[in-house]
Each structure stands twice: as C-alpha cells, then as structure tokens.
Chain A
Amino acid sequence: MTALEERLRGELRAESEIITPESIAPLRLPGDTDHVPCLPRRGGARHWPEWVKPLAAAVAAGAVIAGTFAIAHALPGTRQQSWSPTPGYAGVPCYYAYTLQGDIFDYTSHGTEYGASVTGRYLRIRATDSGKLITVLAPPKPYNNFQTISADATGTVFVLGAMHDWQRYANPRPSVFARTQATPMRFLAVRITGGRARVISLHLPVTVTPGQGPSIALSPDGTRLALAYGGRGRPAVVDVITLPDGRVRHWTSPRVPWRPLLSGRGAWTANGRTLVLQERYAPASTQVRLIDTAAPGTSLAAGKLLVLRAPVGESAPPWAFITPDGTKLIGGTNGAQFRPRNGIERGALSVYSARTGALLQRLARWKWNENDTRPGHGGAPQDQVAWSNPSGSQLIVLHPVDDRNILGLLTDGAFRTAGPSLPRQPAGYQELQNALRTGTQLVW
C-alpha cells in the first residue's frame, strides 16, 4: 500500500468518527405507530388507475418536447438565431469591461488575520463615450474569480471565464482556505443591447480547469471563441469554438515547457482569420505564433513563428497587440529589467513586423522617475495599447507622461490627450483612463 493510500485510509477513518454510535437514531420501520422519518411505500407497489398511464405518457412526451424547445432557444450553440454575429471591427467599441481585484475571504486563524484575494472579484462594463456604468457582475456562486475576459470588436459582446478560487476546507475550525485549480471553469457571455446587459450561460464543448491556464479571445464578430490552455510539460492546445453551432477547431503541439497565452486585446485581426498566440516570454525576446484559422491542419507548428527581440537596453514586450490589418505587432518595452540606479526608467512602444518579426519603429519614447513624490505621480509606468485603427497609425494608449499614466491618442508617434477617437465626454475619458490604470484586466 502506498503512502497516499495509507494516508487516505487513516483520514477516512478519522473523518468518519464524526458519526458517533450515540448519534445513530433508532430504526423506524413501516408499521411503527409513531411518525417515521423514512417513508417507505406502505402497501407495497403503487397501483395507478389504468386511465392515468396514457395521460402520464402524453404529459411526459409533451414535457420532453417543450424542454427541448426551451433549451434550443436558451443555449447558444444549438440554434443559429440564438447567437447572431456583430458587425465586427469598425471603430472604437461602444462599451468596455474591466475586472477589479478583491478579497473573497477574510478570516482569523489562531490570532492571525488572513485574506484571500483574487484579481477578478468583480467586473464592470461601462459605455465608452459617457463612462456610464452599464452593469457590475460577480461570478455566479461558487465561482468567485473572473480569471479571463474577452470582447468582440464592437464592444457589445463579452465572454467571461469564471473560476472557483480559494475553496474553504471542509471543516470550519480553523477556517483554512486552499487555492483550487481543479474545478472546471464556467463561461458566461454578456450581450449589451440598448444599453442593457444580458448575461448568458455558455455551454462550451470543451472543459478546462484553471490549472490548465486557460486564456480566451473572442473574434471581432463575436461568433468564435479562441481558447488556449495546456503547456508547462503538457501539449499546448488552442481550440476555436464556433459559438452558434458548437463546432471546434483544434490545434495542438507536443509537450512544451511554455504556457500558450491569448491576449484579451489585439489577439485577432479584423477579418477574424489570424490569431496571435504568445508562446514564450523572456527579457531578450518574445515568441509569438500567428495561427491562420482558415488554413487546414491541427498542428500549432503550422503557424508562423515570430521572435520579437528586445530593443537595446530594454526588455521584450510581454504582450503583442496585432493591428486589425494584421501587418504589425505592437507592444510596450522598457528598461525596468535593468534596474536603473537613479530610479529613471525609459521605454517606448515598439512596433514589429507581423511578417518577419523585425523591429520596425519605436513610438512615443518616455522617461519615468519612480521616485517622484508629487501627489498622483510616480509609482509604476504603464504603456498599454487599448485600441488601434486598421493600420496601427492611430492608437489609443495609456502612456507614461511626466511620471503619470495618461490616456491619449498616439498618431504617427505624436501623443495628445484629445482626438477624434477618444471619448469626447470628460466622464467617458476619465472613466476609461481610470479603468486602464486600475483594472486588472480590460477588454475593449
């Protein structure tokens, strides 16, 4: 017997002792005069009148038909009409969603206070133009963390992946929580129509657990969901699920040491054909693979592998945003890796060719003094691409300026805080900037 078997045997025995001999209630058999807790059928088998049987059969058949009809209308993947495509990439999305960190448990154990925090405790959806809060969502119980989110190009369809994080151990004394990676994830969709959000439960034909490190990317027209998972010693897998009918395209690799990752933003080209998968990240280079989802084959190796090398004195971009026309990959690079002694960091947005992976251009170089003590200044620089026009010549970015992260428009390398694509209403601008600064994930 192995150590695990021994342990299991001992713990089962110990656990079973919760049931003590004194706690066993006396047996109450049928025919006892007082109330019986168990309710066996008195008088043996039940005899129904003959006329009840055809009636019951008809009712059951009707219920089956009605249930099938209801399910067909309720679940995406069973009827074409239930999951209609959106117009796809056209301009700035109408809505955006972002997740916020939060504690799910606070507890005291032996005089010490503990908290268990997750990165996606809540999700907020706001209107781009006005900043109006459309909805706040928490994962359905017992799920408690939105681990991954994605949106279509119009910003009216969002897909959310919820995980059950930090399970309480069975016995509440002391309250002990364990991070769990084994509960299958649950996926939800949110559709915004007329300023109202409707939450739909997605029943995907693929089951993944948080331990498999899943990440998702919704196609620009909102009809296909890419799901990447696996790796770290197992095969890396990318599934593209067609939501209206549940069809799955499957790409895989042999066992690999890296984790396949999809970015919440800028993972698809506007035509919904090319998908960017990040394979490896190291300070010297980032490896991404461009998967042509229209080409036949099931091997990830068939995709084009690009190595995005770090500019001199900086580290490679941790994420690569593909421009909607599929010609460039853009990511923030900086020198924080090299720990400048004077506290001054430098960086820029680096533009790479999506054909060769070569560094093409450096945009909007910035300098950041992490020791700036002025109110609202200092901290950590964030250089994020939030949106791009088709060619990448116009970007909406959160950009380090004067030791603050500012929302603005980057046009041919020039940064400004006002422009045609940015939210015109002050509240819209402020809320989007705030979401980019504070959201643990943001999709737009």
Chain B
Amino acid sequence: MEGDIAHLPDSTGPPRPRPAADAPGRPAEGGAGTASTAASHAVTALYRSHALGLTRLAFLMLGDRHAAEDVVQEAFCGLFRAWDRLPDDANVLGYLRVSVVNGCRSVLRRSRRAPRALAAPPAPSAEADVLVGEEKRAAVAALRRLPPRQREALVLRYFADLPESETAKAMGVSRGTVKSTTARGLAALGRMLREVP
C-alpha cells in the first residue's frame, strides 16, 4: 500500500466506472450487481491508494489511531454507497477528504474530550533520539491542545499540503476563514511552545 494525500493531486485515482443504466441506486442492495461490483473494485482501488494518507490525516486530528482507522473506513463505505450518485468528474479524493474531516468532527463531538494519548511509536530507542523526540512531541502535543477547527486547518495546510482553496473545501468554510483560522492556530501554537520549559 502506498500513497499519501500530500502527494496526490485531487483528480488522480482510478477512473470511475459508470454504473449500468438499469443498476439500482444502492449498490449493496440486491447483492453483487454489475454496478456494485464495479463500484466495489473502484473503491477498493482508491482505498489502496489513499487509505494510508487519509488515516494519517485522521490520526493527526484525533490522536487515536483506532478511531482514525474507523473514520477512514466509514468514509470509504460512504463513498461506496454514494458511488452511483457522484458525477463523472467528481473530485473523489476531495469527497473522501471532506468525509474524513466530518468523521473526525463527529468522533470529537461524541467523545467530548481531548484526544487520547498516542500509542508509543515504533521509533528507535537510541538515547540520542530522545531529545529530538521530545521536541517533536512538544509541537504535536501543543497542536492537540488547539481548538478542533484550528487543528484541522493546520493539519490540512501543513500535513496534507493543501492550498487554501482546497483546505476551505475540506473544512466547508471560506478561504478567508481558512487564512484567519490558520493564523490564529499558528499564533496559539507559538505561544504554547514558548511556555514549554
């Protein structure tokens, strides 16, 4: 499995097969019809390409890898359900990204608490790496203390490397809001990092 949303333009990905004209609107209904089979193959191919990047995106927003995996699975299931309703030129990756962002918001809303601590990374245990790791953890820990919208904006802008317009689409806000939210998030992050002794 390979791929990272940061490295894939939005319009890439396997071509979307058109469902047959008489295909039912809901691919899963009625078993494995032609359209649902094609949709299944297409969505699975998309999953192979983008699941890693999207899971990482969700993980950075949630701080919980299991919840992140669930969100991404749900996003692809949603894509599968909506497959026949999407236009031919649909920005599938953009659709998935919006689904993931919305899924993360739902998880955070449900949990009503700060993201959980991360599992220990499979990092080398060399002593020399520890200080670097602490620095790294300081910034990420600071990011997790930001309000969810600011965290979303920063992750989309600086992890996914999305331009402001795409970040705005993913967040469902205007470009101006993205700019101001990002600026506020960066300012807050800077303040928090200065407070770390």
Which A residues form the contact surface with B (CB < 8 A)?
Answer: 2, 4-5, 7-9, 11-21, 23-25, 27-31, 37-38, 40-44, 110, 142, 167-174, 176, 178-183, 211
The residue in chain B whose Cβ has the minimal distance to the Cβ of A6 is: B158
Establish whether residues B31 and A170, one from each chain, have CB atoms under 8 Å apart when the complex forms: no
The residue in chain B whose Cβ has the minimal distance to the Cβ of A13 is: B159
Give the complex CA separation of A24 and B51 in angstroms: 7
Given contacts A17-B121, A29-B40, A38-B77, 13 further A-B contacts (CB under 8 A): A16-B60, A16-B159, A18-B122, A27-B73, A29-B44, A30-B28, A30-B77, A31-B40, A37-B73, A44-B81, A170-B137, A170-B141, A171-B121
Q: Mind listing 20 A-B residue pairs with CB under 8 Å?
A: A8-B154, A8-B158, A11-B135, A12-B60, A13-B159, A15-B60, A15-B118, A16-B60, A17-B56, A19-B65, A24-B55, A30-B28, A30-B80, A44-B26, A110-B130, A169-B141, A170-B141, A170-B144, A171-B121, A179-B197
**Interface stretch of the complex, out of B87-95, B162-170, B185-193:** B185-193
Which of B36, B117, B189, B191 sits near A172, CB closer than 8 Å?
B117
Which of B144, B158, B188 sits near A9, CB closer than 8 Å?
B158
The residue in chain B whose Cβ has the minimal distance to the Cβ of A178 is: B196
Q: How far is the CB of B39 from chain A (nearest CB, A)?
A: 9
Give the complex CA separation of A41 and B51 in angstroms: 21
Which of A8, A21, A168 sits near B189, CB closer than 8 Å?
A8
The residues of A that contact B10 with a CB separation of less than 8 Å are none
Q: How far is the CB of A367 from chain B (nearest CB, A)?
A: 40
Give the complex CA separation of A21 and B55 in angstroms: 10
Instruction: Report the interface size for chain B: residues with CB under 8 A from the other chain.
Output: 69
Q: Which 3 A-B pairs have the closest CB atoms?
A: A16-B56, A38-B73, A30-B28
Establish whether residues B74 and A38, one from each chain, have CB atoms under 8 Å apart when the complex forms: yes
The residue in chain B whose Cβ has the minimal distance to the Cβ of A28 is: B73
Q: How far is the CB of A145 from chain B (nearest CB, A)?
A: 16
The residue in chain A whose Cβ has the minimal distance to the Cβ of B3 is: A21
The residues of B that contact A24 with a CB separation of less than 8 Å are 1, 51-52, 55, 69
The residues of A that contact B43 with a CB separation of less than 8 Å are 27, 29
Establish whether residues A171 and B118, one from each chain, have CB atoms under 8 Å apart when the complex forms: yes
Give the complex CA separation of A35 and B66 in angstroms: 17
Give the complex CA separation of A30 and B33 in angstroms: 13
Establish whether residues B81 and A40, one from each chain, have CB atoms under 8 Å apart when the complex forms: yes
Establish whether residues B140 and A11, one from each chain, have CB atoms under 8 Å apart when the complex forms: yes
Which of B68, B122, B159, B195 sits near A181, CB closer than 8 Å?
B195
Given known A-B contacts A16-B56, A20-B122, A27 and B76 have beta carbons under 8 A apart = yes
Establish whether residues A38 and B70, one from each chain, have CB atoms under 8 Å apart when the complex forms: yes
Establish whether residues A19 and B141, one from each chain, have CB atoms under 8 Å apart when the complex forms: no
The residue in chain B whose Cβ has the minimal distance to the Cβ of A30 is: B28
Instruction: Report whether over half of chain A's contact residues are helix, strand or loop; otherwise say mixed.
Output: loop
Given known A-B contacts A21-B52, A172-B117, A31 and B28 have beta carbons under 8 A apart = yes
Establish whether residues B143 and A43, one from each chain, have CB atoms under 8 Å apart when the complex forms: no
Cβ of B25 under 8 Å from chain A = yes
Establish whether residues B69 and A25, one from each chain, have CB atoms under 8 Å apart when the complex forms: yes
Establish whether residues B77 and A29, one from each chain, have CB atoms under 8 Å apart when the complex forms: yes
Establish whether residues A173 and B120, one from each chain, have CB atoms under 8 Å apart when the complex forms: yes
Given known A-B contacts A21-B52, A38-B70, A12 and B155 have beta carbons under 8 A apart = yes
Establish whether residues B29 and A170, one from each chain, have CB atoms under 8 Å apart when the complex forms: no
Q: Encode B14-54 as 1/0 by CB contact (under 8 A) with A.
A: 00000000000111110110001000100110010001100
Cβ of B138 under 8 Å from chain A = yes
The residue in chain B whose Cβ has the minimal distance to the Cβ of A5 is: B158
The residues of A that contact B78 with a CB separation of less than 8 Å are 40
Establish whether residues B73 and A168, one from each chain, have CB atoms under 8 Å apart when the complex forms: no
The residues of B that contact A12 with a CB separation of less than 8 Å are 60, 140, 143, 155, 158-159
Establish whether residues A25 and B140, one from each chain, have CB atoms under 8 Å apart when the complex forms: no
The residues of B that contact A4 with a CB separation of less than 8 Å are 186, 189-190, 193
The residue in chain A whose Cβ has the minimal distance to the Cβ of B120 is: A173
Give the complex CA separation of A16 and B60 in angstroms: 7
Establish whether residues B195 and A179, one from each chain, have CB atoms under 8 Å apart when the complex forms: yes
Which of A38, A172, A182 sits near B120, CB closer than 8 Å?
A172
Q: How far is the CB of A35 from chain B (nearest CB, A)?
A: 13
Given known A-B contacts A29-B43, A170-B141, A18 and B65 have beta carbons under 8 A apart = yes
The residues of A that contact B80 with a CB separation of less than 8 Å are 29-30, 40
The residues of A that contact B119 with a CB separation of less than 8 Å are 18
Which of B68, B118, B158 sits near A170, CB closer than 8 Å?
B118
Given known A-B contacts A27-B51, A38-B77, A169-B141, A15 and B122 have beta carbons under 8 A apart = no
The residues of A that contact B191 with a CB separation of less than 8 Å are 182
Establish whether residues B118 and A11, one from each chain, have CB atoms under 8 Å apart when the complex forms: no
Q: How far is the CB of B83 from chain A (nearest CB, A)?
A: 10
The residues of B that contact A21 with a CB separation of less than 8 Å are 1-2, 52
Establish whether residues A27 and B47, one from each chain, have CB atoms under 8 Å apart when the complex forms: yes
Establish whether residues A19 and B59, one from each chain, have CB atoms under 8 Å apart when the complex forms: yes
Q: How far is the CB of A45 from chain B (nearest CB, A)?
A: 9
Q: Encode B118-139 as 1/0 by CB contact (under 8 A) with A.
A: 1111100101001001111111
The residues of B that contact A14 with a CB separation of less than 8 Å are 136
Give the complex CA separation of A15 and B1 in angstroms: 19
Give the complex CA separation of A14 and B158 in angstroms: 12
Give the complex CA separation of A174 and B192 in angstroms: 20
Establish whether residues B68 and A43, one from each chain, have CB atoms under 8 Å apart when the complex forms: no
Give the complex CA separation of A211 and B194 in angstroms: 12
Establish whether residues B137 and A169, one from each chain, have CB atoms under 8 Å apart when the complex forms: yes
Q: How far is the CB of B6 from chain A (nearest CB, A)?
A: 8
Give the complex CA separation of A23 and B69 in angstroms: 10
Give the complex CA separation of A18 and B125 in angstroms: 14
Give the complex CA separation of A37 and B74 in angstroms: 9
